[in-house]
Amino acid sequence: MSDCSFSQPVVSDVELIASLKAQVAAQQAELEQQAAKLAHSQKIFDRSSAAARIGVWECDLSDESLVWTDVVYDIFDLPRGETPDRAATLKCYPEESVRELHKRRTKAIEDRTGFTLDAEIISFKGVRRWIRITATVESVDGVAVRIFGMKQDITEEKILADRTRYLAEFDVLTGLANRSQFQSRLSAFDHASSRRVRPFGALLLIDLDEFKPVNDSLGHAAGDECLKQAAERIRDVCPDAELVARIGGDEFAVLLGADARLAEASDAARAIIAHLGYPMEHRGHQLKIGASVGIALADSDTPSAQLNVMADAALYAAKKAGRNTFRIHKAGISLLTSGSSAVA
């Protein structure tokens, strides 16, 4: 019986070294590929962050040291890479925002949660901005060690929101409250009435006399100028009013304060009629108009809808009486009380 032996392949040192080099090269290529992908992802993140004006920040709670990404430096107008100083940064915020930020930050650290806060800042170059701060607390073994999050420049968003809100509540031509805000404030009277607290004491409805001839003969530009000057005069003679509004084409409304009674409402109506009776100027033309005023005096039991009807009925009576005058309607009294004309 013959012996059988199996020979093992012999790998030379040269071949082993070559194999190891190939493995190292393959791993290096893979690492470089991953690094390239990471760099590309970072570039996309940086561009997206810059476009959205979102920066990332981190604060070590052991020493309050900060780390920022470039966008945060840009928001505060600081040179990129400069070591951020939390105390100096807080001086960019108004005091009430600092207090609110401290309050929310303290609670988030205690509860190991997070928060979101919109605040106005003045950057280190004096630029006023609105930013949105989001924060999350990181803890280790139940102890908060770090707080991090994002800071986003929302100035344009804030301007757009303010503009949208303004358009929803104010008349663009005159700057007065619009009909929507007037109705909202008027309806608040109903809620206050149940508590026997009056948010205002009288409603004045004002209709411009002879406005249509001005608009028809001199054009819409003259009509618009007439409305703007009328609004300014009504506002000037009712500086303490709860609300002055333009509620229609040439219709205005005034809500006088809770202390207003017959005498105060009458005085306001006389002043409005007198001031609207003075000629207005527009491109060399004199615009002559007048005003009729209807007044509704209310107690706490008068619903807002009834108050509006009362004032409208009083306004109709003033126009029927010859215009440039006012009439008064009191709650609980069906007859209209005459008011003297302020213009001879």
Query: Structure tokens of 306?
Result: 């009834």
Pairing of strands 290-297, 285-287: unpaired
Cβ-count burial 216-237 (b if 16+ within 10 Å, e if not): eebeeebbebbbbbbbebbbeb
Name the nearest CA neighbour of 188 among 203, 176, 174: 203
Residue 282 near residue 230, CB atoms below 8 Å: no
How many Å apart are CA 219 and CA 229, to the nearest integer? Answer: 16
Q: Distance between CA atoms of 335 and 329, rounded to whole angstroms? A: 7
∠ CA(132), CA(136), CA(142), 5° rounding?
Answer: 160
The residues annotated with a catalytic role in the active site are 250
Q: What is the DSSP letter of 170?
A: B
Q: Treating both helix axes as pointing N-terminal to C-terminal, what angle do 211-218 and 220-237 enclose, rounded to 10 degrees?
A: 150
Count of beta carbons in the 10 Å neighbourhood of residue 69? 19
Q: Taking the CA atoms of the chain, what radius of gyration do you get in angstroms?
A: 36
End-to-end CA distance of the chain: 147
